[in-house]
Amino acid sequence: MSMKKVMTAVYALCLLCLTAHVGSAGTQTVDRVVAVIGNEVILRSELDERVMTTGLQYPELKSDKNLPEKVLNSLIDQKVILAKAKIDSTGIDEAALDGLVAERMNVLASRFSSREEMESRFGKSMLLIRKELRQEVKNQQLVETLRRKKMSGVSVSHEETMAFFEANKSRLPVIAEGVSVSQILRYPGITPENRADARAMIEKVQAELKSGADFVELAKKYSQDKVSAPLGGDLGYVQKGELIKSFEDAAFALKEGRISDIVETRYGFHIIQLLDKEANSLHVRHILIGFDRSKGDDEGTIAMLRTIKAEVLAGKASFADMAVKYSEDPVSAKNGGTVLSSSSSKSVFPLSSLRSPLKEIIGRLKKNGEICDPVKIDSPQGGSFYAIFRLNEKIPAHQLDPRQDYAMLEEFALDNKRQRVYEAWLQQLRKEVTVRKSDV
């Protein structure tokens, strides 16, 4: 792993990780101060916990003898910047902070089978985990806000970009094989009996709510959304356009704190509670009673996708138009079926970044414009759907070429310049805040 990746990993962990409980009655050690930053201290126990967490998250770093020193330096940098943020009275959006905390709690909870397991692993109550996570996220946001403010004016010219290329030509990465893909997704229809069963169950939940039952407790008891149910149905903050239209329309129509009537989506029946609303985002809870699609109309769904494929290949309609009209994935449908990378929002991404079996399905498409036959995909969230995929473009693996990959090269050059500006800024901040460090 490159030094940049090592330090990025260490820095990210210092900013983002919620420290897990690592002590036990038989392994306690005497604590001591390993660094002083202004009026703040870093204890040996805090450092050991962060080193442990980093090793768990990045196993390849465990053999690095200098890892404790690197983690300590990153912790010091974080506290130096936080001190500067407080001096400058840097503020953050509290509502957005609450949304980020909810999202992080969703991610954390999804890694455990129960609340009890999660509390046991961290050695803390759920309330304390959330409280500490909120402070960690708040610190991260303060640091990031100040960093963005400092980096906002940094740019690179064409000359600087090409100079960076010439100086780093031998170290620049080979660009992995990339693909651009469009999709049309369809969920199998459900039987009238399945719909009636789901409806009866959601009406039972609704009756309990109207009788005064707590929404959070009912979500934990009944909701079939495996990710949000342990959190009382909390979905965190969701951007406008990311939700199924019927769900989103119902949520936006609510006033804060109010609960919706029964809402139907392709997943099943929902009851929604609005916690907070902004112009382009929502913070909601929901209770989902899903449809049983194990006896759905698979043959009819496959036939429909085959018809769509045939009409596109015959030139009767474009794939993009068919995606807008028929795809049941709202995010890609609004882009004419084009799949965007979750990390960069770009339409071209490495083939290797796709999960199986999608990676194998797309890998078998050889020509631009080729469309696969309908395939069944098992969703990570549970259930399954059918889809057809179109290969828009395939770019072979190649050495980075400024003529072909200038935007990527410019991004590398800008990152490099920002890192140099950032390091110079940190050195200046260290002069403004007293920093003392002991051996680790």
Q: What percent of the chain stands above pLDDT 90? A: 41
Cα–Cα–Cα angle for 104, 106, 107, rounded to 5 degrees: 65
pTM across the whole model: 0.56
**Which band of pLDDT confidence, cut at 50, 70 and 90, is reported for residue 227?**
confident
Put residue 257 in one of left, alpha, beta given phi > 0 → left and psi -120 to 50 → alpha: left
The continuous run of DSSP H or E covering 410 comes out as helix 406-432
Backbone angles phi, psi at 273, to 5 degrees: -120, 125
Read off the pLDDT of each residue in 257-282 and give the average, rounded to a whole number. 90
Q: Please give the pLDDT value at position 53.
A: 63
Would you list the DSSP string of 234-282? EEEEEETTSS-HHHHHHHHTSPTT-B---EEETTEEEEEEEEEE-SSEE
Read off the pLDDT of each residue in 39-64 and give the average, rounded to a whole number. 77
Q: How far apart are CA 421 and CA 428, in angstroms?
A: 11
Judged against a pLDDT cut of 80, whether residue 4 lies above it is answered with no
Strands 384-395 and 375-378: antiparallel
The continuous run of DSSP H or E covering 300 comes out as helix 298-313
pLDDT of 130-189, one tens digit each? 887 888 788 878 888 888 888 888 999 999 999 999 999 999 989 999 999 999 999 888
Do 102 and 45 contact (CB within 8 A), yes or no? Answer: no
| Angle at which helices 67-87 and 126-151 cross, to 10° | 70
Q: Please give the pLDDT value at position 119.
A: 83
- Tokens linked to 232: 């009382």
Q: Select the CATH number that applies to the domain covering 3-155+415-437 from these four: 1.10.4030.10, 3.40.190.80, 1.10.486.10, 1.20.1250.20.
A: 1.10.4030.10
Judged against a pLDDT cut of 90, whether residue 105 lies above it is answered with no
Q: Please give the pLDDT value at position 288.
A: 96
Judged against a pLDDT cut of 90, whether residue 315 lies above it is answered with yes
Q: Select the CATH number that applies to the domain covering 178-189+297-399 from these four: 3.40.50.150, 3.40.50.2000, 1.10.8.870, 3.10.50.40.
A: 3.10.50.40
Do 262 and 270 contact (CB within 8 A), yes or no? Answer: yes
Q: How far apart are CA 341 and CA 157, in angstroms?
A: 27
pLDDT of 324-333, one tens digit each? 999 988 889 9
Backbone angles phi, psi at 112, to 5 degrees: -125, 150
Lowest-confidence pick of 133-137, 360-364, 413-417:
133-137
Q: What's the alpha-carbon Rg for the chain, to the nearest Å?
A: 26
Q: Select the CATH number that applies to the domain covering 192-294 from these four: 3.30.365.10, 3.10.50.40, 2.40.170.20, 3.30.70.1450.
A: 3.10.50.40
Locus of tokens 């907070």 = 276
CA 233 to chain centroid, in Å, comes to 18
Strand partners, 284: 236, 274
Do 192-294 and 178-189+297-399 have the same topology in CATH?
A: yes
**Which band of pLDDT confidence, cut at 50, 70 and 90, is reported for residue 413?**
very high
Of the candidates 262, 307, 305, 304, which has an alpha carbon nearest to the alpha carbon of residue 286?
A: 262
42 contacts: CB under 8 Å, gap ≥ 6:
33, 34, 35, 36, 72, 75, 76, 79
Of the candidates 99, 129, 128, 96, which has an alpha carbon nearest to the alpha carbon of residue 17?
A: 129
Judged against a pLDDT cut of 90, whether residue 38 lies above it is answered with no
Backbone angles phi, psi at 17, to 5 degrees: -80, 140
Cα–Cα–Cα angle for 389, 390, 393, rounded to 5 degrees: 135
Would you list the DSSP string of 80-139? HHHHHHHHTT----HHHHHHHHHHHHHHHHHTSSSHHHHHHHHTS-HHHHHHHHHHHHHH
Q: How far apart are CA 251 and CA 263, in angstroms?
A: 10
**Which band of pLDDT confidence, cut at 50, 70 and 90, is reported for residue 57?**
low
Q: Would you list the domain boundaries of the chain?
A: 3-155+415-437, 178-189+297-399, 192-294
CA 415 to chain centroid, in Å, comes to 22
Task: Count CB-CB contacts under 10 A for residue 268.
Answer: 23
Alpha-carbon torsion 252, 108, 349, 326, what sign? negative
